[in-house]
């Protein structure tokens, strides 16, 4: 037991006692040097008084025990340790000086007073030695530790602020990887050309000229505390010119776990990929419209539907009926919504219902039970290649499902029915787009019907049409993320394919704003800026993830998929737009379809579903929608046959 205690004492206190002993030895050495300097190196025993040295050593010992600068780990010596040494040396010198002066006056013995000149000289010698020895040992420690290891990793740190300097220190302390800091990059002209912690600060143009054309590319570490989307775009574009790999400063936990060289670029935000500012809408009108109302949302567990429900909760409705046939996804959504801090009372508002919009009896039961005042119809099949292979399902859900829900809205006198449509309904080239266009046309016919006096209903049918939704299920962003995480390749169908993009919250804002401002028979579209080239989006995501295109992650082109076209529009050649009170929201002016022909086409589709004949279903769609021309699809033959018939 005694041996164990003595061992623990030695392990815990021996290094500290050693450091304290060295510090006191430095004081002794500094005092002797000060005494010799004071008397011009003339050794005269008459000038030497042991009391002076003892008084200083006692004062230094007492203040060192009180302030404890000897507790610091020498190899981690920093500014804080230097501050502790300064405090201990300063106060101990003052204590020795004033103490010896008071004692000499009290005992009337002048030799007891330590000359101020000796104290001053000793003070500066001790300060230099005590701090210098620590930093010297630290330097030698890291120098010796670095010597047996392999090659350096050249590094440039983007950002010469506090985070950048801390990053430099952490890199130099990393024992698993050897780094050579080439410089800081900063576009602040007050910093460029100067040095920070002994490392030069370069402007982006200077660093490009000095380092970025070298055959061995340095690694760039982003060390900017608040890196916003637009600024990230600018830095990404600059680095992408030189095919540079970049990483974000890892968390403290990652440093501790040795992941400093493994964590890649910043978590990609879908807002950063838009290439335009995020659209924000004023929700005052939506608040007034939906407060204390009963709302039914179809497709509530999907990407759009679930975000729509989240936003609806902010407008204090009386009840939200969440309709979806996907039971697991619906359960997960309810579970997540209940955990939101702003929606603790959501249980009283949310009513999940597992149901299929193509089941007319089940949907009628829901309308009878809850009598919704607003319906947001987001249930649809949206995957273009899959629906090209399954026209039966696309027609059944997108056309007949919409018909069932819309007819019930009319019968139960719903105030407003809002359809979530797509830009693929414009000049459709695939089955999915054609079925969504037919759904739009059917709502137009119901608007005319609801305005007729004999219906007794004033339901207003509104359509929202927008482009690809970043981050939704099936969109390119999560697919690209998965491919990048798997090490590639990232696959794009065609180098020239372009798309309009918006975020899920933007899409849902449009849907809600359309409900507020719509008076019936409108198709609302967003001004989404310039379309984005998908190949450029893929390159940007690879780079933002910290990789180099076609070096770390391959980019491959696989060819257009069935039904896919190079570009999409929000309006066709026969449509125009009207402005609204918001500059980013437009109303499309559509041609009114012939109601009789439309009803006849949908009746034919219902009959054709009984035969499960995909070719027959698509031919009926093409007859009802003259602008529907298939691309890269087995149904191209139907267009050729139609052209031959016309030519005859």
Report the pLDDT averaged over residues 333-345.
Answer: 72
Give the confidence band of 598 by pLDDT, cuts at 50, 70, 90. confident
Most confident of 71-75, 257-261, 292-296, 568-572: 292-296
pLDDT given for residue 342 in this prediction = 61
Residue 68 has pLDDT above 70, yes or no: yes
Highest mean pLDDT pick, 170-184, 248-262, 313-327: 313-327
Q: Which helix (H) or strand (E) holds 485?
A: helix 476-485
Task: Give the closest residue to 312 by CA, choosing from 320, 302, 304, 321.
Answer: 320
Three-state DSSP state, 158: strand
Is the predicted pLDDT of residue 231 greater than 70, yes or no? no
The pLDDT of 605-621, averaged and rounded, is 91
d(C-alpha 531, C-alpha 48), whole Å = 88
For residue 31, what pLDDT is reported? 86
- Range 312-331 average pLDDT: 92
Nearest to 464 by CA among 557, 526, 402, 412: 526
| pLDDT on residue 619 | 93
Other beta carbons less than 10 A from residue 543's beta carbon: 23
Cβ atoms within 10 Å, residue 490: 26
Q: So what's the pLDDT on residue 471?
A: 59
Residue 319 parent element (H or E): strand 319-324
Q: Which pLDDT score is estimated for 272?
A: 56
What are the start-end ranges of the E strands in 77-198?
A: 153-158, 179-185, 195-196
Q: Give the residue among 566, 121, 617, 177 at the shortest CA–CA distance from 397.
A: 617
Q: Which helix (H) or strand (E) holds 526?
A: strand 522-526
pLDDT of residue 30: 87
Q: So what's the pLDDT on residue 461?
A: 92
The pLDDT of 465-491, averaged and rounded, is 76
Integer angstrom CA distances of residue 186 from 68, 143, 226: 39, 28, 14
Q: Which residue from 393, 398, 453, 401 is spatially nearest to 424, judged by alpha carbons? A: 398
Q: How far apart are CA 584 and CA 517, in angstroms?
A: 14
So what's the pLDDT on residue 354?
95
pLDDT, average across residues 505-516: 83
The tens digit of pLDDT for each residue in 375-426 reads: 999 999 988 889 999 999 999 999 999 999 999 999 999 999 999 998 888 8
pLDDT of residue 604: 92
CA distance 338 to 214: 55
Residues 6+ apart with CB under 8 A from 50: none
Which residue is associated with the tokens 């198709």? Answer: 523
Q: Which residue has the higher pLDDT, 586 or 407?
A: 407
**Which pLDDT does position 264 carry in this prediction?**
46
Return the higher-pLDDT residue of 394 and 248: 394
**What are the residues facing 464 on neighbouring strands?**
420, 524
Q: Which domains does the chain have, with CATH numbers?
A: 13-145 (no CATH), 153-266 (3.40.50.720), 284-624 (3.40.50.720)
Question: What's the CA gap between 201 and 187, in Å, rounded?
Answer: 9
Q: Which of 428, 377, 367 is nearest to 398 (CA)?
A: 377
Please tell me the predicted confidence (pLDDT) of residue 274. Answer: 56
Q: How far apart are the first and last CA of the chain?
A: 110
| Residue 245: pLDDT band with limits 50, 70, 90 | low
Is the pLDDT at 607 greater than 70? The verdict is: yes
CA atoms 591, 633, 483, 230: torsion sign = negative
Alpha carbons 476 and 536: distance in angstroms, whole number: 12
Please give the structure tokens belonging to residue 25.
């030895």
- Interval 116-154: pLDDT, tens: 888 899 899 989 998 888 888 877 876 665 554 556 778
Tens of pLDDT, residue by residue over 431-449, are 999 999 999 999 988 876 6
Q: Is 6's pLDDT higher than 50?
A: no
Exposure string (b/e) for 454-484, b if CB count within 10 Å is 16 or more?
eeebebbbbbbbbbbbbbbeebbbeebbebb
Residue 323: the pLDDT is: 96
pLDDT at 368 over 90: yes
Cα dihedral sign for 268, 269, 273, 275?
Answer: negative
pLDDT at 622: 92
What's residue 337's pLDDT? Answer: 83
Q: Which of 314, 305, 340 lies closest to 511, judged by CA?
A: 305
pLDDT 10s digits, 18-59 = 888 888 888 889 888 888 888 777 766 766 778 888 888 898
Q: Using alpha carbons, select from 40, 198, 23 the residue that is nearest to residue 121.
A: 40
Per-residue confidence (pLDDT) for residue 399, from 0 to 100: 95
Cβ contacts of 47 within 8 Å, gap of 6 or more = 35, 39
- Choice between 386 and 223, residue whose per-residue pLDDT is larger: 386
Mean pLDDT across the chain, nearest whole number? 79
Ordered DSSP codes for 195-211: EETTEEEE-HHHHHHHT
Q: For 148-177, what is each residue's pLDDT tens digit? A: 455 677 888 888 888 888 888 777 766 667
Most confident of 2-11, 62-71, 478-487, 561-570: 62-71
Burial of 39 (0-12, 13-18, 19+ CB in 10 A): middle
Of 201-205, 242-246, 262-266, 585-589, give the lowest mean pLDDT range. 262-266
Q: Is the pTM for the entire model greater than 0.85?
A: no
pLDDT, one tens digit per residue, over 199-217 is: 888 888 887 877 777 667 7
Can you give the C-alpha Rg of the chain in angstroms?
A: 38
Q: Are strands 219-222 and 416-422 parallel, antiparallel or unpaired?
A: unpaired
For residue 181, the model assigns a pLDDT of: 85
- For residues 570 and 423, the answer to whether their CB atoms sit within 8 Å is yes
| Confidence tier at 4 by pLDDT (50, 70, 90) | very low
Question: Within a 10 A sphere around the Cβ of 218, how many other Cβ atoms?
Answer: 20
Is the model more confident about 466 or about 554?
554
Query: Is pLDDT of 60 > 80?
Result: yes
Q: CA-CA distance, 182 to 240, in Å (whole number)?
A: 19
As a whole number, mean pLDDT of residues 595-616 equals 88
Residue with tokens 């006198």: 413
**pLDDT, tens digit, 9 for 90 and up, residues 77-115:** 778 888 888 898 899 889 888 888 887 788 877 777 788
Quote the DSSP letter at residue 474.
T
Question: What pLDDT, on the 0 to 100 scale, is given for residue 641?
Answer: 63
pLDDT at 193: 83
Instruction: Tell me what pLDDT residue 335 has.
Output: 85
Judged by average pLDDT, the poorest of 506-520, 521-535, 549-563, 590-604 is 521-535
In three-state secondary structure terms, 582 is coil
Confidence tier at 456 by pLDDT (50, 70, 90)? low
């Amino acid at each position: 037991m005694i041996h164990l205690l003595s061992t623990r004492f030695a392990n815990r206190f021996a290094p500290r006692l050693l450091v304290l002993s060295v510090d006191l030895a430095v004081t002794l050495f500094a005092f002797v040097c000060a005494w010799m300097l004071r008397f011009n190196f003339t050794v005269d025993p008459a000038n030497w008084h042991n009391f002076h040295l003892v008084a200083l050593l006692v004062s230094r010992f007492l203040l060192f025990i009180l302030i404890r600068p000897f507790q610091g780990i020498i190899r981690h010596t920093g500014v804080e340790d230097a501050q502790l040494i300064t405090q201990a040396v300063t106060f101990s010198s003052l204590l020795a000086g004033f103490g010896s002066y008071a004692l000499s006056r009290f005992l009337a013995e002048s030799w007891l007073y330590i000359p101020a000149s000796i104290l001053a000289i000793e003070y500066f010698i001790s300060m230099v030695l005590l701090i210098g020895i620590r930093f010297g040992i630290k330097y030698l420690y890291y120098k010796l530790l670095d010597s047996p290891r392999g090659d350096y990793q050249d590094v440039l740190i983007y950002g010469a602020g506090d985070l950048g300097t801390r990053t430099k220190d952490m890199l130099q302390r990393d024992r698993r990887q050897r780094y050579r800091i080439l410089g800081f990059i900063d576009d602040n002209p007050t910093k460029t050309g100067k040095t920070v912690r002994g490392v030069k600060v370069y402007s982006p143009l200077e660093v490009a000229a000095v380092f970025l054309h070298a055959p061995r590319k340095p690694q760039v570490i982003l060390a900017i505390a608040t890196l916003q989307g637009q600024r990230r775009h600018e830095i990404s574009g600059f680095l992408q010119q030189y095919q540079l790999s970049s990483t974000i400063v890892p968390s403290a936990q990652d440093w501790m776990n040795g992941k400093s060289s493994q964590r890649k670029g910043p978590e990609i935000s879908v807002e950063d990929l838009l290439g335009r500012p995020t659209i924000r809408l004023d929700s005052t009108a939506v608040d007034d419209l939906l407060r204390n109302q009963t709302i039914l949302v179809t497709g509530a567990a999907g990407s759009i539907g679930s975000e729509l429900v989240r936003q609806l909760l902010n407008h204090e409705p009386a009840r939200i009926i969440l309709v979806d046939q996907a039971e697991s996804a619906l359960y997960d959504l309810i579970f997540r919504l209940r955990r939101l801090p702003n929606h603790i009372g959501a249980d009283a508002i949310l009513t999940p219902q597992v149901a299929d919009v193509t089941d007319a009896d089940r949907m009628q039961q829901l309308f009878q039970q809850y009598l919704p005042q607003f319906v947001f119809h987001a249930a649809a099949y949206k995957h273009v290649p899959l629906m090209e292979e399954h026209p039966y399902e696309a027609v059944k859900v997108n056309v007949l499902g919409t018909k069932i829900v819309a007819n019930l809205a009319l019968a139960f006198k719903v105030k407003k029915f809002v359809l979530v449509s797509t830009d693929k309904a414009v000049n459709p080239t695939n089955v999915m787009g054609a079925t969504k266009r037919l759904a739009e046309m059917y709502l137009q016919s119901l608007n005319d019907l609801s305005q007729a006096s004999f219906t007794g209903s004033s339901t207003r049918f509104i359509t929202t049409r927008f482009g690809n939704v970043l981050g939704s299920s099936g969109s390119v962003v999560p697919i690209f993320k998965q491919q990048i995480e798997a090490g590639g390749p990232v696959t794009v169908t065609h180098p020239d394919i372009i798309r309009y993009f918006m975020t899920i919250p933007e899409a849902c804002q449009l849907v809600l704003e359309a409900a507020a401002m719509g008076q019936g028979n409108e198709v609302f579209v967003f001004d989404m800026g310039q379309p984005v080239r998908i190949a450029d989006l893929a390159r940007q995501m690879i780079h933002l993830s910290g990789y180099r295109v076609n070096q770390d992650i391959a980019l491959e082109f696989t060819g257009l998929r069935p039904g896919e076209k190079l570009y999409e529009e929000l309006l066709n050649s026969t449509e125009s737009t009207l402005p609204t009170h918001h500059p980013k929201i437009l109303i499309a002016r559509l041609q009114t379809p012939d109601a009789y022909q439309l009803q006849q086409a949908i009746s034919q589709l219902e009959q054709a579903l009984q035969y499960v004949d995909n070719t027959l279903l698509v031919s009926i769609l093409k007859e009802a929608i003259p602008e529907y021309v298939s691309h890269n699809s087995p149904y191209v033959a139907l267009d050729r046959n139609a052209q031959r018939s016309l030519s005859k």
